[in-house]
Amino acid sequence: MRVFSLACALAVASLGAAAAQTPAAKAPAAKAPAAKAKATSTAAARTVNITGGDNMKFDQTEITAKPGETLHIVLKNIGTMPKMAMAHNFVLLKTGTDQAEFSKAAFNARETDFIPPTMKDAVIAHTGLAGPGESVEVRFKVPAKAGTYAFICSFPGHFGLGMRGTLIVK
Protein backbone atom coordinates (compact mmCIF):
# COMPACT_ATOMS: atom_id res chain seq x y z
CA MET A 1 0.00 0.00 0.00
CA ARG A 2 2.78 2.33 0.91
CA VAL A 3 4.71 1.41 -2.19
CA PHE A 4 1.64 1.89 -4.28
CA SER A 5 0.88 5.33 -2.96
CA LEU A 6 4.53 6.28 -3.30
CA ALA A 7 4.42 5.20 -6.96
CA CYS A 8 1.24 7.20 -7.38
CA ALA A 9 2.79 10.22 -5.79
CA LEU A 10 5.80 9.85 -8.06
CA ALA A 11 3.60 9.49 -11.13
CA VAL A 12 1.62 12.55 -10.17
CA ALA A 13 4.80 14.45 -9.43
CA SER A 14 6.34 13.56 -12.77
CA LEU A 15 3.11 14.37 -14.58
CA GLY A 16 3.11 17.69 -12.83
CA ALA A 17 6.71 18.26 -13.78
CA ALA A 18 6.02 17.35 -17.40
CA ALA A 19 3.04 19.68 -17.51
CA ALA A 20 5.06 22.44 -15.93
CA GLN A 21 7.89 21.88 -18.38
CA THR A 22 5.81 21.74 -21.52
CA PRO A 23 5.09 25.43 -22.02
CA ALA A 24 8.65 26.39 -21.11
CA ALA A 25 10.14 23.74 -23.38
CA LYS A 26 7.77 24.55 -26.22
CA ALA A 27 8.33 28.26 -26.34
CA PRO A 28 11.94 28.26 -27.59
CA ALA A 29 11.26 25.26 -29.84
CA ALA A 30 8.41 27.10 -31.51
CA LYS A 31 10.67 30.07 -32.11
CA ALA A 32 13.48 28.10 -33.70
CA PRO A 33 11.65 26.77 -36.77
CA ALA A 34 10.33 30.25 -37.53
CA ALA A 35 13.86 31.60 -37.51
CA LYS A 36 15.01 28.67 -39.61
CA ALA A 37 12.25 29.13 -42.16
CA LYS A 38 13.29 32.73 -42.51
CA ALA A 39 16.89 31.74 -43.11
CA THR A 40 16.02 29.19 -45.79
CA SER A 41 13.73 31.54 -47.66
CA THR A 42 16.43 34.18 -48.06
CA ALA A 43 19.71 34.14 -49.95
CA ALA A 44 21.17 31.93 -47.23
CA ALA A 45 20.52 28.85 -49.35
CA ARG A 46 23.23 28.10 -51.89
CA THR A 47 21.98 26.71 -55.17
CA VAL A 48 23.81 23.80 -56.74
CA ASN A 49 22.79 22.95 -60.29
CA ILE A 50 23.19 19.36 -61.37
CA THR A 51 22.24 17.72 -64.64
CA GLY A 52 21.57 14.11 -65.46
CA GLY A 53 20.97 12.68 -68.89
CA ASP A 54 20.29 9.52 -70.82
CA ASN A 55 23.88 8.50 -70.02
CA MET A 56 22.68 7.88 -66.45
CA LYS A 57 25.34 10.04 -64.83
CA PHE A 58 25.27 13.18 -62.75
CA ASP A 59 27.45 15.90 -64.26
CA GLN A 60 28.70 16.61 -60.75
CA THR A 61 29.82 13.80 -58.52
CA GLU A 62 31.29 15.90 -55.76
CA ILE A 63 29.58 18.68 -53.84
CA THR A 64 31.32 20.39 -50.96
CA ALA A 65 29.35 22.11 -48.22
CA LYS A 66 29.81 23.56 -44.78
CA PRO A 67 28.22 21.84 -41.79
CA GLY A 68 24.68 23.08 -41.31
CA GLU A 69 24.68 25.06 -44.54
CA THR A 70 21.40 25.27 -46.44
CA LEU A 71 21.68 23.85 -49.94
CA HIS A 72 19.22 24.18 -52.76
CA ILE A 73 19.79 21.34 -55.19
CA VAL A 74 18.31 21.75 -58.66
CA LEU A 75 18.51 18.66 -60.81
CA LYS A 76 17.72 18.98 -64.49
CA ASN A 77 17.13 15.99 -66.71
CA ILE A 78 18.78 16.90 -70.01
CA GLY A 79 17.89 13.59 -71.64
CA THR A 80 15.13 12.82 -74.13
CA MET A 81 14.01 9.31 -73.17
CA PRO A 82 10.40 8.99 -71.92
CA LYS A 83 9.94 9.48 -68.18
CA MET A 84 8.66 5.94 -67.63
CA ALA A 85 11.93 4.54 -68.91
CA MET A 86 14.35 7.22 -67.81
CA ALA A 87 13.83 9.66 -64.99
CA HIS A 88 16.25 10.97 -62.41
CA ASN A 89 16.21 12.10 -58.84
CA PHE A 90 18.65 13.21 -56.19
CA VAL A 91 18.58 11.22 -52.98
CA LEU A 92 20.99 12.10 -50.19
CA LEU A 93 21.56 9.24 -47.78
CA LYS A 94 22.63 9.12 -44.19
CA THR A 95 26.09 7.86 -43.36
CA GLY A 96 26.19 4.12 -42.97
CA THR A 97 23.33 3.45 -45.35
CA ASP A 98 23.85 0.45 -47.60
CA GLN A 99 23.45 2.26 -50.91
CA ALA A 100 23.12 -0.92 -52.97
CA GLU A 101 20.46 -2.16 -50.58
CA PHE A 102 18.60 1.15 -50.86
CA SER A 103 18.79 1.04 -54.63
CA LYS A 104 17.49 -2.52 -54.61
CA ALA A 105 14.54 -1.61 -52.40
CA ALA A 106 13.79 1.33 -54.71
CA PHE A 107 13.12 -1.02 -57.63
CA ASN A 108 9.75 -1.87 -56.15
CA ALA A 109 8.82 1.64 -55.08
CA ARG A 110 7.52 3.22 -58.26
CA GLU A 111 4.37 4.47 -56.51
CA THR A 112 6.54 6.51 -54.12
CA ASP A 113 8.84 7.80 -56.87
CA PHE A 114 11.46 5.18 -56.02
CA ILE A 115 11.89 6.23 -52.42
CA PRO A 116 11.37 2.88 -50.69
CA PRO A 117 9.06 3.35 -47.69
CA THR A 118 10.99 0.70 -45.77
CA MET A 119 14.21 2.72 -46.01
CA LYS A 120 12.90 6.24 -45.96
CA ASP A 121 14.57 6.86 -42.60
CA ALA A 122 17.91 6.61 -44.40
CA VAL A 123 17.10 9.66 -46.53
CA ILE A 124 18.38 13.10 -45.54
CA ALA A 125 16.79 14.85 -48.51
CA HIS A 126 15.41 13.94 -51.90
CA THR A 127 13.83 15.47 -54.95
CA GLY A 128 10.97 14.13 -57.00
CA LEU A 129 11.54 12.51 -60.37
CA ALA A 130 12.58 14.56 -63.38
CA GLY A 131 11.51 13.41 -66.81
CA PRO A 132 13.11 14.74 -70.02
CA GLY A 133 13.56 18.51 -69.89
CA GLU A 134 12.20 18.70 -66.36
CA SER A 135 13.87 20.11 -63.28
CA VAL A 136 13.29 19.01 -59.72
CA GLU A 137 14.63 20.63 -56.61
CA VAL A 138 15.04 20.26 -52.91
CA ARG A 139 16.17 22.61 -50.19
CA PHE A 140 17.68 21.15 -47.06
CA LYS A 141 20.07 21.72 -44.24
CA VAL A 142 23.39 19.92 -44.64
CA PRO A 143 24.20 17.66 -41.67
CA ALA A 144 26.08 19.37 -38.89
CA LYS A 145 28.48 16.46 -38.72
CA ALA A 146 31.49 16.67 -41.02
CA GLY A 147 31.98 13.66 -43.26
CA THR A 148 30.98 12.26 -46.61
CA TYR A 149 27.39 11.55 -47.56
CA ALA A 150 26.38 9.63 -50.64
CA PHE A 151 23.81 10.90 -53.08
CA ILE A 152 22.29 8.64 -55.66
CA CYS A 153 19.63 8.48 -58.32
CA SER A 154 17.23 5.82 -57.12
CA PHE A 155 15.55 5.21 -60.49
CA PRO A 156 15.92 1.45 -61.08
CA GLY A 157 19.34 0.53 -62.38
CA HIS A 158 20.85 3.99 -62.34
CA PHE A 159 22.81 3.61 -59.12
CA GLY A 160 24.36 0.40 -60.42
CA LEU A 161 25.39 2.20 -63.60
CA GLY A 162 27.16 4.89 -61.61
CA MET A 163 24.54 7.59 -61.14
CA ARG A 164 25.86 8.66 -57.77
CA GLY A 165 28.08 11.17 -56.08
CA THR A 166 29.36 12.42 -52.77
CA LEU A 167 28.48 15.37 -50.61
CA ILE A 168 31.54 16.33 -48.62
CA VAL A 169 30.75 18.23 -45.44
CA LYS A 170 33.75 20.02 -43.99
The least distance separating Cu ion from the CB of residue 106, rounded to whole angstroms, comes to 11
Q: Long-range CB contacts (< 8 A, 24+ apart) of 144-147? A: 144/67, 144/68, 145/67, 145/95, 145/169, 146/67, 146/170, 147/95
**Under rule CB under 5 A, which residues in 34-63 are in contact with Cu ion?**
none
Tell me: does residue 126 bind Cu ion (CB under 5 A). no
The smaller minimum CB distance to Cu ion, of residues 136 and 169, is found at: 136
Among 153, 164, 165, 169, binds Cu ion (CB under 5 A): 153
Q: How many residues does the chain have?
A: 170
Distance in Å, CB of 145 to Cu ion, minimum = 27
Query: From the list 57, 63, 65, 88, which residue makes contact with Cu ion (rule: CB under 5 A)?
Result: 88
Among the listed residues 155, 159, 164, 169, the single contact to Cu ion using CB under 5 A: 155
Candidates 37-45, 88-96, 104-112, 143-151: pick the segment binding Cu ion (CB under 5 A).
88-96
Strand 46-52's sheet: what is its strand order? 46-52, 70-77, 135-141
Pick from 71, 163, 167, 169 the residue near Cu ion by CB under 5 A.
Answer: 163
With contact defined as beta carbons under 8 Å apart, do 76 and 134 qualify?
A: yes
- Output the CA–CA distances (angstroms, integers) from residue 66 to 118, 128, 169, in the order listed: 30, 24, 5
Q: What distance in Å separates the CA atoms of residue 99 and residue 77, rounded to the nearest whole number?
A: 22
Q: Which residues pair with 52 in a beta bridge?
A: 58, 77
Instruction: Specify the residue, 122 or 153, whose C-beta has the smaller distance to Cu ion.
Output: 153
Return residues touching Cu ion (CB under 5 A).
88, 153, 155, 158, 163
